[in-house]
Amino acid sequence: MIIVTGATGRLGSAVVAQLLARVPAESIGVSVRDSGEARALAQRGVRVRTGDFSDPATLDHAFEGAEQVLVVSAAIRGPRAGQANRQAIDAAIRAGAERVLYTSHQAASPDSLFPAQLQHAATEEYLTQRDVAFTSLRHGFYASTFEIYLPDALETGELRLPQDGPVSWTAHADLAEVDAIALTRPGSLDGITPPLTAPELLDLADVARLLTDLSGRRIRRVVVDDDEWRATAVARGLPAPAADFTLGMFRAARRGEFAVTDPTLEGLLGRPATAAVSVLEGVLAAAGAVGTRTR
């Protein structure tokens, strides 16, 4: 049985949808914190069990009978994330899983300026020390990040954020499909994978130009000092630790940590990756902000 954690989240639910197109529903199990949110999956024949990374006993039940477990990285920050990921990996091994897959990041590194990458690197190292076959899926930077910053830019006409650098923005849907391929196509991805990215590198100045083109309204890229951005973000309600965490993303980007592309994702998909402009179009359409192209 293939077990997917976090199966009601954005990534996990997309992975399960991809699996349902490839294997029988009864060969899929999901581990979710609230089983009520997975009723639709249960109705399709997927085994639904409650599992919480912070409570290993629940994972033992949720992972029972697992041949493979996809551990979708814990959606928390700091050292607690690393502990949660380790507990999920250990539970998968106790359940007898022959292979553990983990959703890592293209920039996982013990010296990254973005704190999330430190936890990914630590989890990868932990996996290498376990007596189990594993795949660490080094996902490209999620293009869904645009959804956080576009509303203000569309309202003000300015994309006001700290200095950044090129990023290989990659669509959730593409990554979910590759994760499902890894689970169902033996040998397609083993160990620590190459960066699973779209082929295009864009910085936020490029994004502002695309927004201008797509919306029909000029969007200016304005670089804001780190301390100024942090103060403004905290004043608007963002908790200080979250602001510091986010600043790490910008600092890592301008150091070039996300300026990496690789053909592996497109090779596995057998098609071009979803372009960042397509993701932007979707975000603008959802906001009712698609206008006449300016060029």
For the segment 172-190, what is each residue's pLDDT rounded down to a tens digit?
999 999 999 999 998 999 9
Residue 170 structure tokens: 């990659």
Nearest to 275 by CA among 190, 213, 188: 213
95: β partners? none
Predicted TM-score of the model (pTM): 0.93
Please state which CATH class domain 2-140+171-192 belongs to. Answer: alpha beta
Backbone angles phi and psi of 202, in degrees to 5: -135, 135
Pairwise CA distance, residues 9 & 246, whole Å: 21
CA distances for 105 relative to 19, 118, 152, 194, 219, angstroms? 21, 10, 27, 10, 30
Distances (CA, A) of 211 to 254, 269, 272, 283, 287: 21, 27, 22, 10, 13
- Digit-coded pLDDT (tens) for 28-73: 999 999 999 999 999 999 999 999 998 999 999 999 999 999 999 9
| pLDDT tens digits, one per residue of 232-247 | 999 999 999 999 999 9
